[in-house]
Amino acid sequence: MKFKCEQKELIKALNIVSRGVSARTTLPILKGIKITADSERGKVVLTASDLEIYIETGIRAVCDEPGEIVVSAKLFSDIIRKLNRGSVFFSINEEGTVKIENGTFSSTLQGIPTEDFPKIEMIQGDGSVSLEKETLKDLIKGTAFAASIEEARGIITGVLMDIKDGIITMAALDGFRMAIKKEPAEGVREEQRMIISGRIMNELGRILSDYEKGTDDEEGESSEEIKIAVGEKRVFISMDETNISVRLMEGEFIKYEDIIPKENAIRVEVDKKELLDCVDRASILVKEGKNSFIKFKIEGNELVITSRADEGTTRESVVISKEGEDIEIGFNGRFIGEPLKGIDDEKILMLFNKSVSPCLIRPLKGDSYEYLVLPVRLQTTGE
């Protein structure tokens, strides 16, 4: 193996594939990054995998000799990031160590043979769905946070991706709240339903955000398009020079469509930022974990949010426009704040029935986002 490439491009590629390096494995090979020099295509491909996710990304390189090897992801990243800008030269010597050269700097790193590195066959081509990076990022941002993070909860640690009639729907829930987001997608018309781990979805979201940061420089030749192809056990996501394969979760997802209340007696329209700020402030005193909550008192054209703890109290009011009865209802503050961060609209709707029924949050316009949250039962004493 012998090639040269640019330090800047290596860093960009490392930012992407590092998301696939296993954090808690005892297998050294999964803590590594595979480097593959492909003379024919004039490319070097970096690959990382924790078995659940598999990420490969290519960069331009002048390859004198093809070859492949695995090196420690941490040391490799640390070294590349600290190098000066410019060309970096790679070669493997007889003892199987990788030599890295840049200016007067040189380093040799222990190499690991690639035999035991995970191998994933990528599917590309037909049968795939197309959407924009920004769209996938919004879908993930709007839903993945709501998936359960308790590993024992099985299927609800996953995020459902439902492709049907030119619409891609993502849904996640944890037993206390549920988030559903829909976006148009181009491609096949046949229904595809799959479940991907919430943890992996969040990693995907971070890769997409990193991509965004990387595209405003001079070599911004990246396309906005993402292709998603579904296999039997894995889903394949490709964009620009990056291919990602993610293991699908097995099982039947909750029929989320049935949970959303059809009728809502009380309809409240409120400024999103004002509500988010109020919820943030009311949540300062409220400790996570305890059965504590923030209280919404909706009366006429005013929403009063209060909180109470041993250390003190808070109270704040927001002007709303309301249809229906007055209502008092309690929530876990985080469960109201989190979805609001994923809504770009200025105004939102909160739809209620009773103080013991779930509340539905939606942007004022459109039905692209729906968030359902269970209330906390208010104590009968107290304010």
Q: How far is the CB of 285 from a second copy (least distance, A)?
A: 7
Q: How far is the CB of 307 from a second copy (least distance, A)?
A: 9
SS3 168: strand
Q: How far is the CB of 116 from a second copy (least distance, A)?
A: 18
- 78 part of the interface to a second copy, by CB under 8 A: yes
Stretch that binds a second copy, among 9-17, 33-41, 107-115, 356-364 (CB under 8 A): 107-115
Other C-beta atoms within 10 Å of 213: how many? 10
- 314 part of the interface to a second copy, by CB under 8 A: yes
Query: Could you tell me how many residues make up the chain?
Result: 383
* Of positions 7, 39, 87, 107, contacts a second copy by CB under 8 A: 107
Q: How far is the CB of 310 from a second copy (least distance, A)?
A: 7
How many of the chain's residues bind a second copy (CB under 8 A)?
31
The site map against a second copy for 48-77 (x = CB under 8 A) is ------------------------x--x--
Give, rounded to a whole angstrom, the gap between the first and last alpha carbons of the chain. 72
Contacts of 199 (CB under 8 A, 6+ apart): 149, 157
* Of positions 62, 79, 248, 286, contacts a second copy by CB under 8 A: 79
- 97 part of the interface to a second copy, by CB under 8 A: yes
76 or 331, CB closer to a second copy? 76
Q: What is the CA radius of gyration of the chain?
A: 25
- 106 part of the interface to a second copy, by CB under 8 A: yes
Buried b (16+ CB within 10 A) or exposed e, 146-175: bbbeeeeeebbbbbbbbbeeeebbbbbbbe
Contacts of 260 (CB under 8 A, 6+ apart): 180, 360, 370, 372
Other C-beta atoms within 10 Å of 141: how many? 20
128 or 332, CB closer to a second copy? 332
- 82 part of the interface to a second copy, by CB under 8 A: yes
SS3 323: strand
- 317 part of the interface to a second copy, by CB under 8 A: yes
According to CB under 8 A, which residues from 252 to 311 bind a second copy? 277-278, 280-281, 284-285, 310-311
Pairing, β 192-197 against β 294-299? unpaired
Dihedral Cα 112, 114, 115, 120, nearest 10 deg: 140
Stretch that binds a second copy, among 35-43, 105-113, 349-357, 359-367 (CB under 8 A): 105-113
Q: How far is the CB of 97 from a second copy (least distance, A)?
A: 7
Footprint of a second copy (CB under 8 A): 72, 75, 78-79, 82-84, 97, 103-110, 277-278, 280-281, 284-285, 310-318
